[in-house]
């Protein structure tokens, strides 16, 4: 009997191992747990005497007790040879069943193999385990036994053992699923979002959310326990504030009066400094009604921080320490201090205020080399007072196909109305020969020297006013990196985390919709650079600010500033330069007048940070219940319509746009999700 079983088992094991996700499993939770298991160095040296010993024990990071208070003795994923002979009770979901002989049980911790008893006396147990559909929840009790020799599965952390079941209980049966939960089965994102609670069962989502939780925990530890920050909640029902992102409006029962959801706790955190709280932080939910934008969510989370009596360097060192302390232990450690570029340098070298510094291809001004050029559009640009010629050198750019270069030129023409010229100063291939021949030999050697061009490099040239030429090349730099990576080159090492501070932003930018007016580059509470204060009254557009952004691998993951703590200066900036209604901010202006300390702060975008750390393709993959691209909750159908009688207490009437019959009638329709 046993030998027959074994031969079946072998076949099953062979089929099970590649697909059960055990490879991923073998590392994910243990990677997370490693973070828990080391005592913090800071605490260990206290371990003298019994009181300090208690302190040490309670402060050490330990492996959490996953099975306290619940109806199991162990988790599926934790069992090893060291548990052999133990009687265990496990609860989990049925991941697989093979030929009614084995069942693989899954919980958040991992997978374990359960042997379905074949004896007559165990008919009831067999019936439960053989009939329950996949993804049903069961509780099994039995003994941990070794797998027969040669049948261990080294790819499964629990692969040396299996469970010999004595009793089984079906806790809840699973109906037909909209998709298979297993990670390797591909699903559309709309379906995943519609059945998010099922999607969350995947190991990938479990990993992302648990890593997020662990990093936040360490951040709290660092801020509160090591640096004396106070975790304070601020209101989410607030009022409209000037000069920032668009806010969501919440009706109130008072006619014509509305709350707004705060785009950030900015005013409150400054008021907390006026209130003498000294060091504030919050894992803060923020809301911005900015419409659909890739990698943005209408509600998102910030690690929001404010400190009194601090300068820019103080904030930067705090954040570097915070990231270093909370960084997952399975990644390369964070090296501090982070490099820093001014806004002007970032724009000149990378064409953006959030440069991806994992690779080179910096923008170089080649105006002087091409001063006497005969190429028409370059000549044109250089004849204008602000005209420049700029270039990037794409190393190994000859890997790009002709059609890639064509698409790059088209992109520049379509999006920036800008001409871009590829040249191959060293390569024998010369696809753009007519123009290339217009580049004189001394210009060619000048370029090679200035840009350190090698054999397989391609140079992209463009011309025009500094900012525009840099912006185009900044975009093309990223575009080329994507194209080269699609051709198999690795430009951006996926294990590399390249942090960068960008500082000395302008205090104001011309308004997009009306360039004659100014708007804040960060927000209106940002202090001007001390050396530029006088310019506020003469040439405000030239004033630099004490605003700093933190960039990681080309994404902005944080931003903050030293604040204005002088009410007069704040009033002048709001009323005179930004033309805002100061009445809306009278509470803040008044507070600044009552002995506000100098203060500054920063907010880190938690979703984006975790997305980069986990390598997730979208921020939606690190949020438990995200909104779709259109801002909808596909699971519950929010936002939803309300019947007119429910709007009455808020003194609101919907003014339906023309052709909205369908929307109107959807008031009484069952929900049908976006696809
Ligand atoms: N409140 C700002 C933001 O959300 C961050 C800050 O200045 O601290 O961007």
CA 223 to ligand 1 center in whole angstroms: 18
Q: Give the torsion sign (CA, 275, 278, 283, 288).
A: positive
What is the C-alpha separation between 601 and 526, in angstroms, rounded? 10
| Nearest ligand 1 atom, CA 526 | 7
CA 288 to ligand 1 center in whole angstroms: 13
pLDDT at residue 21 above 60?
A: no
Decide: 305 and 602 in contact? Cβ < 8 Å.
yes
What is the C-alpha separation between 176 and 179, in angstroms, rounded? 9
List the domains of the chain with CATH numbers.
4-172 (2.40.50.140), 207-341+499-622 (3.30.930.10), 359-486 (3.30.1360.30)
CA 558 to ligand 1 center in whole angstroms: 8
The residue whose CB lies within 8 Å of the most ligand 1 atoms, and thus the one to mutate among 281, 282, 353, 559, is 559
What is the C-alpha separation between 464 and 477, in angstroms, rounded? 17
DSSP 21: -
How would residue 376 be classed by pLDDT, with cut points 50, 70 and 90?
Answer: confident
Helix (H) or strand (E) holding 308: strand 299-308
pLDDT of residue 625: 98
Give every strand in the sheet of 458-465, ordered side by side: 363-365, 387-394, 458-465, 420-423
What is the C-alpha separation between 406 and 536, in angstroms, rounded? 46
Q: What are the residues whose beta carbons fall under 8 Å from the beta carbon of 272, sequence distance 6 or more?
A: 232, 234, 280, 306
Mean pLDDT of the chain: 88
CA 545 to ligand 1 center in whole angstroms: 14
Counting every residue, how long is the chain? Answer: 675
Residue nearest to atom 9 of ligand 1 (CA): 559
What is the C-alpha separation between 408 and 336, in angstroms, rounded? 36
DSSP lists the bridge partners of residue 170 as 138
CA 227 to ligand 1 center in whole angstroms: 21
Residue nearest to atom 4 of ligand 1 (CA): 264
Decide: 423 and 458 in contact? Cβ < 8 Å.
yes
pLDDT at residue 629 above 60?
A: yes
pLDDT of residue 152: 96
Phi-psi region of 321 (alpha: psi -120 to 50; beta: other; left: phi over 0): alpha
> How many CB atoms are closer than 10 A to CB 642?
12
What are φ and ψ of residue 287, in 5° steps? -135, 130
Tell me whether the omega of the peptide bond preceding residue 639 falls within 30 degrees of 0, making it cis.
Answer: yes
CA 312 to ligand 1 center in whole angstroms: 14
What is the C-alpha separation between 95 and 387, in angstroms, rounded? 65
pLDDT of residue 30: 61
């779709």: which residue's tokens? 628
pLDDT of residue 15: 32
pLDDT of residue 201: 96
Could you tell me how far CA 413 lies from the centroid of its own chain?
31
| Nearest ligand 1 atom, CA 266 | 1
Residue nearest to atom 7 of ligand 1 (CA): 560
**SS3 assignment, position 286:** strand
The residue whose CB lies within 8 Å of the most ligand 1 atoms, and thus the one to mutate among 234, 247, 264, is 264
Tell me whether the omega of the peptide bond preceding residue 337 falls within 30 degrees of 0, making it cis.
Answer: yes
pLDDT of residue 54: 35
Encode pLDDT of 337-371 as tens digits.
Answer: 999 999 999 999 999 999 999 999 999 999 999 88
Bridge-based pairing of strands 518-520 and 420-423 is unpaired
**SS3 assignment, position 657:** coil
What is the C-alpha separation between 523 and 509, in angstroms, rounded? 11
Encode pLDDT of 519-559 as tens digits.
Answer: 999 999 999 999 999 999 999 999 999 999 999 999 999 99
Residues with CB under 6 A from ligand 1: 264, 266, 559-561, 601-603
What is the C-alpha separation between 307 and 276, in angstroms, rounded? 10
More confident residue, 20 or 496: 496
What is the C-alpha separation between 364 and 452, in angstroms, rounded? 11
Q: Which of 38-42, 432-436, 443-447 has the highest mean pLDDT?
A: 443-447
CA 615 to ligand 1 center in whole angstroms: 25
What is the C-alpha separation between 347 and 349, in angstroms, rounded? 6
Share of the chain above pLDDT 90, in %: 75
DSSP 86: -
Residue nearest to atom 1 of ligand 1 (CA): 266
Nearest to 664 by CA among 645, 641, 647: 641
| Nearest ligand 1 atom, CA 304 | 8
pLDDT of residue 291: 75
CA 559 to ligand 1 center in whole angstroms: 6
Residue nearest to atom 8 of ligand 1 (CA): 602
Question: How much is the average pLDDT of 15-26?
Answer: 40
Helix residue spans in 296-350 (DSSP H): 312-326, 343-350
Q: What are the residues whose beta carbons fall under 8 Å from the beta carbon of 188, sequence distance 6 or more?
A: 675
CA 305 to ligand 1 center in whole angstroms: 9
| Nearest ligand 1 atom, CA 547 | 7
Decide: 661 and 667 in contact? Cβ < 8 Å.
no
> How many CB atoms are closer than 10 A to CB 23?
13
What is the C-alpha separation between 615 and 609, in angstroms, rounded? 10
Question: How much is the average pLDDT of 111-125?
Answer: 96
pLDDT of residue 260: 96
pLDDT of residue 19: 36
CB crowding 429-462: b at 16 or more within 10 Å, else e: eeeeeebbeebeeebbebbbeebebeeebbbbbb
Strand ranges, E, within 49-200: 87-98, 102-107, 110-115, 137-146, 161-172
What is the C-alpha separation between 673 and 637, in angstroms, rounded? 7
Encode pLDDT of 244-295 as tens digits.
Answer: 789 999 999 999 999 999 999 999 999 999 999 999 999 999 999 987 777 8
| Nearest ligand 1 atom, CA 563 | 7
Query: First-to-last CA distance in the chain?
Result: 52
The residue whose CB lies within 8 Å of the most ligand 1 atoms, and thus the one to mutate among 603, 605, 606, 608, is 603
The residue whose CB lies within 8 Å of the most ligand 1 atoms, and thus the one to mutate among 549, 560, 602, 605, is 560
CA 234 to ligand 1 center in whole angstroms: 14
What is the C-alpha separation between 319 and 323, in angstroms, rounded? 6
What is the C-alpha separation between 55 and 225, in angstroms, rounded? 13
The residue whose CB lies within 8 Å of the most ligand 1 atoms, and thus the one to mutate among 281, 297, 304, 308, is 304
CA 268 to ligand 1 center in whole angstroms: 11
pLDDT at residue 565 above 90?
A: yes
Share of the chain above pLDDT 70, in %: 87
Residue nearest to atom 6 of ligand 1 (CA): 560
Encode pLDDT of 161-173 as tens digits.
Answer: 999 999 999 999 9
pLDDT of residue 436: 66
How would residue 34 be classed by pLDDT, with cut points 50, 70 and 90?
Answer: low
């Amino acid at each position: 009997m046993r030998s027959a079983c074994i031969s079946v088992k072998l076949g099953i094991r062979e089929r099970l191992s590649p697909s059960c996700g055990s490879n991923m499993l073998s590392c994910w939770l243990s990677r997370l747990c490693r973070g828990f298991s080391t005592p913090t160095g800071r605490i260990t040296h206290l371990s003298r005497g019994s009181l300090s010993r208690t302190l040490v024990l309670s402060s050490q990071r330990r492996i959490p007790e996953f099975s306290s208070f619940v109806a199991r003795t162990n988790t599926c994923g934790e069992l090893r040879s060291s548990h052999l002979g133990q009687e265990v009770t496990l609860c989990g979901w049925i991941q697989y069943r093979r030929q009614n002989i084995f069942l693989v049980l899954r919980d958040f911790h991992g997978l374990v193999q359960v042997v379905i008893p074949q004896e007559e006396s165990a008919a009831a147990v067999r019936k439960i385990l053989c009939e329950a559909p996949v993804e049903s929840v069961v509780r099994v009790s039995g003994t941990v036994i070794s797998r027969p020799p040669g049948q261990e599965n080294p790819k499964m952390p629990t692969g040396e053992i299996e469970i010999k079941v004595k009793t089984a209980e079906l806790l809840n049966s699973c109906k037909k699923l909209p998709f298979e939960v297993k990670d390797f089965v591909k699903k559309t994102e709309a379906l995943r979002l519609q059945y998010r609670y099922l999607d969350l069962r995947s190991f990938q989502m479990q990993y992302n959310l648990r890593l997020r939780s662990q990093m936040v925990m360490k951040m709290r530890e660092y801020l509160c326990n090591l640096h004396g920050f106070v975790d304070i909640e601020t209101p989410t029902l607030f009022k409209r504030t000037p000069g920032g992102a668009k806010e969501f409006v919440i009706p109130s029962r008072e006619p014509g009066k509305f709350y707004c959801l705060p785009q950030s706790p900015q005013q409150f955190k400054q008021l907390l400094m006026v209130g003498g709280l000294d060091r504030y932080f919050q894992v803060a939910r923020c809301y911005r009604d900015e419409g659909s934008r890739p990698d943005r969510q209408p509600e998102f989370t910030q690690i929001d921080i404010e400190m009194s009596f601090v300068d820019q360097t103080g904030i930067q060192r705090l954040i570097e320490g915070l990231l270093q302390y909370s960084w997952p232990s399975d990644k390369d450690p964070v090296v501090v201090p982070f490099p820093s570029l001014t806004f002007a340098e970032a724009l000149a070298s990378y064409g953006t205020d959030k440069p991806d510094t994992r690779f080179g291809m910096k923008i170089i001004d080649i105006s002087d080399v091409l001063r006497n050029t005969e190429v028409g559009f370059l000549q044109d640009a250089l004849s204008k007072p602000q005209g420049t010629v700029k270039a990037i050198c794409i190393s190994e750019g000859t890997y790009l196909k002709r059609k890639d270069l064509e698409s790059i030129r088209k992109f520049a023409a379509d999006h920036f109305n800008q001409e871009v010229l590829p040249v191959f100063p060293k390569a024998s291939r010369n696809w753009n020969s007519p123009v290339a021949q217009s580049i004189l030999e001394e210009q060619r050697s000048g370029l090679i020297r200035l840009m350190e061009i090698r054999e397989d490099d391609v140079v992209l040239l463009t011309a025009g006013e500094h900012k525009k030429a840099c912006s185009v090349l900044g975009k093309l730099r990223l575009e080329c990196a994507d194209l080269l990576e699609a051709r198999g080159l690795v430009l951006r090492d996926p294990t590399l985390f390249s942090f960068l501070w960008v500082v000395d932003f302008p205090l104001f930018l011309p308004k997009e919709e009306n360039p004659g007016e100014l708007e804040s580059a960060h927000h209106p509470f940002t202090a001007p650079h001390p050396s530029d204060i006088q310019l506020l009254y003469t040439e405000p557009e030239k004033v630099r600010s004490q605003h700093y952004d933190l960039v990681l691998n080309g994404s902005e993951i944080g931003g903050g500033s030293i604040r204005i703590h002088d009410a007069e200066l704040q009033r002048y900036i709001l009323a005179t330069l930004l033309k805002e209604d100061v009445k809306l901010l009278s509470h803040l202006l008044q507070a600044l007048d009552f002995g506000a300390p100098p203060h500054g702060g920063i907010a880190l975008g938690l979703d984006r940070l975790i997305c980069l750390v986990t390598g997730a393709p979208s921020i939606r993959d690190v949020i438990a219940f995200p909104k779709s691209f259109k801002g909808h909750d596909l699971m519950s159908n929010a936002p939803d319509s309300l019947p007119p009688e429910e709007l009455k207490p808020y003194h609101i009437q919907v003014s339906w746009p023309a052709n909205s019959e369908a929307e109107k009638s959807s008031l009484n329709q069952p929900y049908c999700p976006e696809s």
